[in-house]
Structure 1
Amino acid sequence: MTVLGAIALPQLQPERLPAIAAAAEQSGLAELWLWEDCFWASGSACAATVLAHTERLRVGIGVLPAPLRNVALTAMEVAALLRMHPGRVIPGLGHGVQEWMGQVGARVDSPLTLLREQLTALRALLHGETVDASGRYVQLDRVGLDWPPGTPPPLVAGASGPKTLRLSGELADGTVLTSSTTPDGIRAARRLIDEGRAKAGRTEPHNVIVYLLTVTGPDATERLAAARHRAALPDTVGVAGDADAVAEAVHRWSAAGADTVVLEPAPDEPDPIDFVRFAGEQVRPLVE
């Protein structure tokens, strides 16, 4: 069965998150996703806020930018969240926007190497291991968490390029694909992910999470066209319309290989709380 979620965009003021979280939980949504972008709010702080204001909602962090973070700090934050809210956190790492990484002096020559080193170290730390690492970017000397999570979480990676998709298949438990991904793009990503899985000899399920740009309301078609134009996206990206139209798109994205489809509002969404309610109350029953 396809898992349906919704996104709380990082552009939203952090103080709005409790109301959005409550709406997501009350609507029956399984997951609320967010991510850490410069220079909005901390991804881990936002996740903690959502978790503290809900009881069953899973929170996906898709993703934290690896260049911005020390892997030990990320492990400490994720472990603390999981110990307080077991089974409800899906942490993810990604390359980050390179221009922003440059603004804070964190840009690296090889984002792929950094992501490999961080994914490897983060997995080990969240499994309660004591880690020594002397990589190009990650150096750890007998680092272990005093309070590891009782159950290690599924670790996901944000990926779009072929090398990163293969790396995600090799080292992560799931892959986050952006809202610029079409059904054909999902199929192509699946093939690359599977190449990485085969290289590592992995046979367990690999969850593909896809963001779906979603616009609803009386002017949905025009707003979707404007959102595509702003982001230079093709006409095959996103969906506009009522719950039936959105559910039909979710089914198409799922048939192409998405295990989780997360509805992403346009940046000009006038009411993010209503958007989350629409996803949970109107679209979810049609998907399930």
Structure 2
Amino acid sequence: MTVLGVVFRPQNPPELLREATRVAETTGLEELWLWEDCFLESGIATAAAALAWTERLRVGIGLLPVPLRNVALTAMEAATLHRLFPDRLILGVGHGVQSWMGQVGARVESPVTLLGEHLSALRALLAGERVTTSGRYVHLDAVALDWPPARAPKVYAGARGPRSIRLSGEHADGTLLDSVTDADGVRAARTLIDAGRAAAGRTDRHEVIANLLAVTGPDAEARLAAERTPEHAPGAGVAGDAHAVAGAVTRLAEAGADTVVLQTTADDTDPAAFIRFVAEEVRPLVR
């Protein structure tokens, strides 16, 4: 069965997160996703709160921008959350928006190189290994976590371009595809991921999580059009009722997405209502 999630967009004030989390928990939604967008809300802080307020809900961070974070710090924070809330955190890391990285003085010459080094070190640290490495960007000298997770958790990579998607297949346990991707893009990503996995000799399961811009209500078409960018693929995004949204979810799933995460537009001021719509109206229509 296709897993469904919803994004709590950080354009909403943090004060709305508790109610959104409560609705996600009580309606049976599988996953609630959070973004660490500059300069809105922290991914780690919001994930910790959402996990503490719930008992069964899985919480995803999509994603932590690696130029902002020393890999040891990422590992410490992720390990703490995995031990406090076993099997409920989904951790994603990625390049971050390059203009934002430039604003904070963290932009690097080769984001792909940095992401590969960060993923390799992060997965090793979370697996309980003692890591010494001296890469182009990541440098660790006999670093090991005192409190690693009980078992090595999966680490997902956010990726859009072909090089990053292939790298995710090599170095990550799953790939996060953003909302500019349509079903054809999911199929193309699967091919690139498989090429990366083959190059790395990996045979483990690699999950693909696709984001879908989904808008409902009387002005849905106009709101969707306002949010779309030139980067959005022709088939990316959906406007309409629960049946229309479920159909778009199904198309992504048939193209190879294991999980589809729905996001409403940035101007939606009632995230709890959108979560209820997805859980109560869309979920029953998706196999």
Deviations 1:57-92 (A, max 9, x none): 111111100000000000000000011100001111
Match of 1:144 in 2: 144
Query: 63-72 or 233-242, which moves further after superposition?
Result: 233-242
The Cα offsets for residues 26-85 of structure 1, whole Å up to 9 and x where unpaired, read as 111111111211111111011001101111011111110000000000000000001110
**1:94 alignment counterpart:** 94
Q: Which residue of 1 aligns with 2:131?
A: 131
Q: What's 1:72 paired with?
A: 72
Match of 1:36 in 2: 36
Q: 2:184 matched to 1:184?
A: yes
Shift of 1:14: 1.4
**Residues 252, 91 of structure 1: CA spacing in aligned structure 2 closer, same or farther, 3 A cutoff?**
same
**Amino-acid identity (%):** 64
Q: Say whether the 8 Å CA contact 2:182–2:234 is kept in structure 1.
A: no
Structure 2 partner of 1:212: 212
Aligned to 2:262: 263
Query: What's the offset of the Cα at 1:231?
Result: 6.0
Measure how far apart 1:232 and its partner are.
5.7
Cα distance in 1 between the residues matched to 2:81 and 2:243: 36
1:151-173 deviation digits (Å, cap 9, x = unpaired): 22111000011111111001111
Matched residue, 2:167 = 167
Counterpart of 1:247 in structure 2 is 246
Kept in 1: contact 2:67–2:96 (CA 8 A): yes
Shift of 1:233: 3.3
RMSD: 1.1
CA contact (8 A) 2:23 2:276 kept: yes
Alpha-carbon contact 1:94-1:159 (below 8 Å) kept: yes
After superposition, where does 1:99-118 map in structure 2 within 5 Å? 99-118=99-118
Structure 1: unaligned runs, 5 residues or longer? none
Whole-angstrom distance in 2 between the partners of 1:162 and 1:221: 30
| C-alpha distance in structure 2 between counterparts of 1:113 and 1:194, whole Å | 19
**TM-score after normalising by structure 2:** 0.97
Letter in 2 for 1:172: A
CA distance in 2, matches of 1:68, 1:97: 11
CA distance in 2, matches of 1:129, 1:211: 32
Matched letter for residue 170 of structure 2: E
Partner of 2:286: 287
- Structure-2 separation of matches of 1:205 and 1:2: 16
- Code of the aligned partner of 1:244: H
Please tell me whether the aligned partners of residues 34 and 43 of structure 1 are also in contact (alpha carbons under 8 angstroms): yes
Cα distance in 2 between the residues matched to 1:179 and 1:190: 16
CA distance in 1, matches of 2:177, 2:264: 15
Q: Partner residue of 2:276?
A: 277
User: What letter matches 1:60 in structure 2?
Assistant: G
CA apart distance, 1:225: 1.7
Question: Which aligned runs of 4 or more in structure 1 are off by greater than 6 angstroms?
Answer: none
Could you tell me which amino acid in structure 1 is paired with residue 40 of structure 2? Answer: W
Tell me the matched-pair count: 287
